[in-house]
Amino acid sequence: MKISIFGLGYVGCVGMGCMADMGHKIIGVDINEEKVAMINDGHATIEEKDIDQLIKSGRKNDQIEATTNPQKAVLNTEISFICVGTPNLPNGHLDLRAIKSVAQSIGSALKNKNEYHIVVIRSTVTPGTNKKVGEIIEQESGKINNKEFAIVSNPEFLREGSAVQDFFSPPYTLIASEDQKALKKMKKLYQDLEGEVLTSDVKIAEMMKLVNNSFHALKVAFANEIGRLCNKMDADSQQLMDIFSKDTILNISPYYLKPGFAYGGSCLPKDLKALNLLSHDNYVDNPILKSVDKSNNIHIQHAIDTITNLEKTKISFLSITFKPGTDDLRFSPALEVVEYLLGKGYDIKVYDKNLNISKLIGKNKTFLMNKLPHINDILVNSIDRAVEFGEAIILSNKEEYISNYLRENPVNDSKHIVDFVGIASQFNIKNYHKIF
Ligand SMILES: NC(=O)c1ccc[n+]([C@@H]2O[C@H](COP(=O)([O-])OP(=O)(O)OC[C@H]3O[C@@H](n4cnc5c(N)ncnc54)[C@H](O)[C@@H]3O)[C@@H](O)[C@H]2O)c1
């Protein structure tokens, strides 16, 4: 394919060398004349393993050239990659001015082109950029987005230091566009790379890199908080985290990584609190660990706000234990919500198939009686009764009995369903409200 690349820094230069190696013909564009000259002299613009050799051989085979002229690049290629920088503005937002400037140049060049053209946003951007770039190009070129040209969002996942290897072996390649023809061509371009080629909504592709990098930053900072604490305990942090990482069921895994309701139960809150106190007692400042509980409470408050905003007074809960399949109520976040609403004078009914008050014993019973001494007054013995009673019905656990019920019993359109766990969308429910 014939490809132009706007921005010849880390991402653009690596893309140029690697795609030339894959057999494509590349025209690079940069406003920096020095970088353009370097490429034309057969040198990479960056220091990175293997890239100089790739640029050198691409240039020698006549597959690579660079220019400061966007018109020339667009008119002689089928796909334009935007790889310009998007640094933070002083207020922290991403500076998308270089992206918009390239979109203008591409649009103005497309005025003089009759063939279909694909514009790929490879830079890290914020949601809405794909749409904005499409609008700018439509305005400049007078052409129609998703017909005469298309925009693809395709975040770059390479790391400096192993950029060439990362280009050829990404964890996956993510592409998103409103134009199927563009997606088909991009899948073909990437078919020989390692890792799956995934497609998604445009907004997801636009957010992906920000979410990935934020999670990576969180991992680094979390590990360092544990490291500082280990140091004080005279424990080997490397050994601890090595063993931590060997748990690929709960620790290094998708488990716990799907948005849902708040955590609770007898273990997570208790042990988090204990670790935080250990840090405190040893004068170790661990702000991430310290803020986890706060984040959880904000999520519970958000669930409460979602209910109270409905301005309904009769509220039914279809389960209140801390997770599905248990009668354990200790530190159940649903119980927090019930307690709050009762305190505000809401009329509450609760059904929970797993709960048999007469069989509750020990700490579980004490916890419930302390929190909700009048539980017997609000408990109903059939899900039908709870559903019939509530103007708003709360789904706080992914319980099979709740899903089965909703599948077999269409909910009256006058009722509001508040879904804490992401199950309501599969049923035909008119008024449903998600918390994430
Ligand atoms: N560096 C990384 O490891 C990495 C990895 C993944 C994603 N990204 C993202 O990719 C994007 C590019 O990052 P980078 O590190 O390659 O940036 P960079 O600063 O190394 O390179 C950007 C290049 O764009 C050029 N440029 C600016 N305006 C231009 C214009 N109007 N026309 C043509 N060229 C123009 C600059 O002269 C520069 O050479 C950023 O959004 C970044 O967040 C970077």
Residue 204 pLDDT class (50, 70, 90 cuts): very high
- Report the pLDDT value the prediction gives residue 303, as an integer from 0 to 100: 98
Is residue 427 over pLDDT 90?
yes
Closest ligand 1 atom number to CA of residue 46: 20
According to DSSP, the residues that pair with 82 across neighbouring strands are 6, 121
Is residue 363 over pLDDT 90?
no
48 lines ligand 1 (CB under 6 A): no
86 lines ligand 1 (CB under 6 A): yes
Average confidence (pLDDT) over 142-162: 97
CA of 123 to the centre of ligand 1 (A): 7
Ligand 1 site-directed mutation target among 5, 34, 84, most atoms within 8 Å of CB: 84
- Report the pLDDT value the prediction gives residue 55, as an integer from 0 to 100: 98
Instruction: Convert the pLDDT of each residue in 367-418 to its tens digit.
Output: 889 999 989 999 999 999 999 999 999 999 999 999 999 999 999 999 999 9
Instruction: Convert the pLDDT of each residue in 328-337 to its tens digit.
Output: 999 999 999 9
31 lines ligand 1 (CB under 6 A): yes
Is residue 358 over pLDDT 90?
no
- Report the pLDDT value the prediction gives residue 112, as an integer from 0 to 100: 95
Q: Which tokens hold the place of 387? A: 């559903």
156 lines ligand 1 (CB under 6 A): yes
CATH number of 297-434: 3.40.50.720
121 lines ligand 1 (CB under 6 A): no
Is residue 6 over pLDDT 90?
yes
Q: List the residue whose alpha carbon is closest to atom 7 of ligand 1.
A: 156
Residue 252 pLDDT class (50, 70, 90 cuts): very high
Residue 215 pLDDT class (50, 70, 90 cuts): very high
5 lines ligand 1 (CB under 6 A): no
Average confidence (pLDDT) over 252-261: 97
> Average pLDDT, whole number, for the chain?
97
Q: List the residue whose alpha carbon is closest to atom 13 of ligand 1.
A: 85
Instruction: Convert the pLDDT of each residue in 116-138 to its tens digit.
Output: 999 999 999 999 999 999 999 99
Of 339, 345, 348, whose CA–CA distance to 314 is shortest? 348
Ligand 1 site-directed mutation target among 6, 11, 94, most atoms within 8 Å of CB: 11
CA of 88 to the centre of ligand 1 (A): 13
- Report the pLDDT value the prediction gives residue 239, as an integer from 0 to 100: 98
Please enumerate in sequence order all residues whose Cβ is within 8 A of that of 49, keeping only pairs 6 or more positions apart, or say none. 161, 162, 163, 164, 165
- Report the pLDDT value the prediction gives residue 26, as an integer from 0 to 100: 98
Instruction: Convert the pLDDT of each residue in 11-64 to its tens digit.
Output: 999 999 999 999 999 999 999 999 999 999 999 999 999 999 999 999 999 999
- Report the pLDDT value the prediction gives residue 359, as an integer from 0 to 100: 86
Q: List the residue whose alpha carbon is closest to atom 4 of ligand 1.
A: 11
CA angle 235, 287, 213 (to 5 degrees): 95
Residue 422 pLDDT class (50, 70, 90 cuts): very high
Q: Which tokens hold the place of 340? A: 């709050």
Residues in the chain: 436
32 lines ligand 1 (CB under 6 A): yes
Residue 361 pLDDT class (50, 70, 90 cuts): confident
Of 144, 99, 91, whose CA–CA distance to 120 is shortest? 99
Q: How far apart are CA 271 and CA 274, in angstroms?
A: 5
Instruction: Convert the pLDDT of each residue in 305-351 to its tens digit.
Output: 999 999 999 999 999 999 999 999 999 999 999 999 999 999 999 99
- Report the pLDDT value the prediction gives residue 22, as an integer from 0 to 100: 97
- Report the pLDDT value the prediction gives residue 364, as an integer from 0 to 100: 84
Q: List the residue whose alpha carbon is closest to atom 5 of ligand 1.
A: 158
CA of 84 to the centre of ligand 1 (A): 4
Q: How far apart are CA 40 and CA 35, in angstroms?
A: 9
Ranges of beta strands (E only) in 250-379 are 314-317, 347-350
Q: 274: part of which helix (H) or strand (E)?
A: helix 268-281
Closest ligand 1 atom number to CA of residue 125: 41
Q: By percentage, how much of the chain surpasses pLDDT 90?
A: 96
85 lines ligand 1 (CB under 6 A): yes
pTM over 0.85: yes
Q: Are 117 and 149 in contact (CB under 8 A)?
A: yes
Query: In the chain, where are the structural domains located?
Result: 2-200, 202-255, 297-434
- Report the pLDDT value the prediction gives residue 99, as an integer from 0 to 100: 98
Q: How far apart are CA 285 and CA 221, in angstroms?
A: 12
30 lines ligand 1 (CB under 6 A): yes
Characterize the bridge pairing of strands 392-395 and 416-419. Answer: parallel
Catalytic residue list contains 83: no
CA of 11 to the centre of ligand 1 (A): 6
Ligand 1 site-directed mutation target among 83, 104, 122, 207, most atoms within 8 Å of CB: 83
- Report the pLDDT value the prediction gives residue 251, as an integer from 0 to 100: 98
Average confidence (pLDDT) over 146-166: 97
Is residue 357 over pLDDT 90?
no
Average confidence (pLDDT) over 234-248: 98
Of 129, 76, 86, whose CA–CA distance to 106 is shortest? 76
Q: Do domains 2-200 and 297-434 have the same CATH topology?
A: yes
- Report the pLDDT value the prediction gives residue 262, as an integer from 0 to 100: 97
- Report the pLDDT value the prediction gives residue 290, as an integer from 0 to 100: 97
Average confidence (pLDDT) over 262-290: 97
Q: List the residue whose alpha carbon is closest to atom 19 of ligand 1.
A: 85
Q: Which CATH architecture has domain 2-200?
A: 3-Layer(aba) Sandwich (3.40)
Q: List the residue whose alpha carbon is closest to atom 33 of ligand 1.
A: 30
Is residue 294 over pLDDT 90?
yes
